[in-house]
Structure 1
Amino acid sequence: MITKGAEPNSLTQHRAQAHSDYDNYARKDDLRVALVGEQRGLCCYCTGRIRAVSTAMKIEHWQCQATYPRQQLDYGNLLGACLGGEGKSPDEQHCDTRKANCDLKWNPANIAHVIENRVYFTSDGHIRSPDPEFDRQLDEVLNLNIAILRNNRKSILDVIANWWKNTPNARQKVQPKIDHIVSAAEHSQFSPVTVSYLRQKLGGAAR
């Protein structure tokens, strides 16, 4: 889950001006820094690496500007996303690039949506949801199960599964390991996969 922080002062000031919109907001670099910081350097959807420059991330409107123009300057609606295969074929695109103007049922930055309870990861690296509608959106809207993302997640799962198997008294060390990962100023790519696996072990569940 993404915990939203304070919005940049420049966004607050811009929104208070007459005829303000997203396109005429000149200080988007302020947004990039804020979004990457609160997301600990990870894309809001695939949790790959993003950086606070236009060549390494996109500013995503969870509710798109075309359909929800009143939300275009609402900081709670803004997320940091990876480039998502921009310029590649549609089958290779993912995250915001693939999503375009489509709607999503759950917002990873809305605390009420409890996104960590909406998704899980299978041993082969797929991201799935017990909610059929959202499960379809993960596949068709965000395209999060393409081979490159699935393989990246599987690599992470293989590493943490090996740690679990070969660490003496691993269960006693799970919570400190989760705390260490979650508290890091910058998260490792796909670290939510590790945290999800460890939390399943704490709860005695495994998929």
Structure 2
Amino acid sequence: MLYIEKEQEPNELIQEKRKGLTDYSNLSGKPKEAVQVSLLEEQGCLCAYCMRRISLENVQIEHYLPQHPQSENYDPALTIDYRNMLAVCSGNKKQAGKFENLTCDQHRKNTPLTVDPLDRTSIDKIKYKTDGTIYSDDPAINKDLDSTLNLNCPASYLKANRKAALDRIKRELHDKFPGKKVPKQQLERMLKQFQAKTNGRYAEFAGVIIWYLKRQIARV
């Protein structure tokens, strides 16, 4: 998971609100597409939860504070609050077959989360193991990652893909500095590279790479 810095809401959404939009269920067409495009740009075309590559063709709009149509606390205004919107993947919906094989918002449903992609402190509590497991020493955040969002689900290949991303960066460093200690300056350059977008995109599963490089820098 990556920290997301929210930008100003798209003008198309502002205009829809001025026309009387009060509930997300009534957002459609070009205004909805403008929101999707804006979210993708903010997130570098990665799912807010699992860091899979997403595009306009498969993006879903997720509400961080979930919609509760049956709840007394349901607030339709939150559904059109741009800061409450995230771009996510399909959650393994097409391949899953079973609920336990779903990920991200498809598995989360309306369960509240402690981990918050808009809170850098929260994201800094996320860690990874060498086998690609995502976890946290904070019990509430760890429950979000492993249980609520199901980000270690074997059927989704997320764990394997994170491991592959981690292994690639390790090989790259080894090839550049075989048998040598990697200079701090090199680690910092690579960190800056993965924290930035290239052609509007972050590297897929960039979070695990950023975590690894930060850990290596701290050890130098």
Tell me whether 84-93 or 120-129 shows the greater mean CA deviation: 84-93
CA deviation vs aligned residue, 1:4-36 (integer Å, no higher than 9, x gap): 111111111222343521111222101110000
* Alignment counterpart, residue 124 of structure 1, candidates 125, 128, 131: 131
* Alignment counterpart, residue 91 of structure 1, candidates 77, 91, 100: 100
Match of 2:20?
18
TM-score, structure 1 normalization: 0.90
Tell me whether 167-176 or 145-154 shows the greater mean CA deviation: 167-176
* Alignment counterpart, residue 206 of structure 2, candidates 168, 187, 191: 191
Question: Any idea what SS the aligned residue of 1:79 has?
Answer: strand
Q: 2-side partners of 1:43 and 1:98: how far apart?
A: 14
- Asked whether the equivalents of residues 67 and 79 of structure 2 are also in contact (C-alpha less than 8 Å), the reply is yes
Identity in percent? 30
Counterparts of residues 121-160 of structure 1 (less than 5 Å):
121-147=128-154, 148-160=157-169
Tell me whether 120-129 or 153-162 shows the greater mean CA deviation: 153-162
> 1:166, CA displacement in angstroms?
3.6
Runs ≥4 residues deviating over 4 A: none
- Asked whether the equivalents of residues 152 and 159 of structure 2 are also in contact (C-alpha less than 8 Å), the reply is yes
Q: 2-side partners of 1:137 and 1:200: how far apart?
A: 23
Q: 1-side partners of 2:65 and 2:56: how far apart?
A: 21
> 1:90, CA displacement in angstroms?
0.8
CA deviation vs aligned residue, 1:143-187 (integer Å, no higher than 9, x gap): 000121100011111111223334325233011111122222211
Q: Does 1:170 pair with 2:185? A: no
Aligned partner letter, 2:186: K
Counterparts of residues 50-61 of structure 1 (less than 5 Å):
50-53=54-57, 56-61=58-63
Q: 1-side partners of 2:75 and 2:147: how far apart?
A: 21
* Alignment counterpart, residue 32 of structure 2, candidates 28, 32, 55: 28
Q: 2-side partners of 1:64 and 1:164: how far apart?
A: 41
Structure 1: tracts of 5 or more residues without a match: none
Q: 2-side partners of 1:202 and 1:81: how far apart?
A: 30
Q: 1-side partners of 2:75 and 2:103: how far apart?
A: 21
Question: Any idea what SS the aligned residue of 1:23 has?
Answer: helix
Equivalent residue pairs, number: 201
- Asked whether the equivalents of residues 15 and 21 of structure 1 are also in contact (C-alpha less than 8 Å), the reply is no
Question: Any idea what SS the aligned residue of 2:62 has?
Answer: strand
CA deviation vs aligned residue, 1:62-101 (integer Å, no higher than 9, x gap): 0111144331111111000000112421111000111111
Aligned partner letter, 2:182: A
- Asked whether the equivalents of residues 95 and 143 of structure 1 are also in contact (C-alpha less than 8 Å), the reply is yes
Match of 1:80?
87
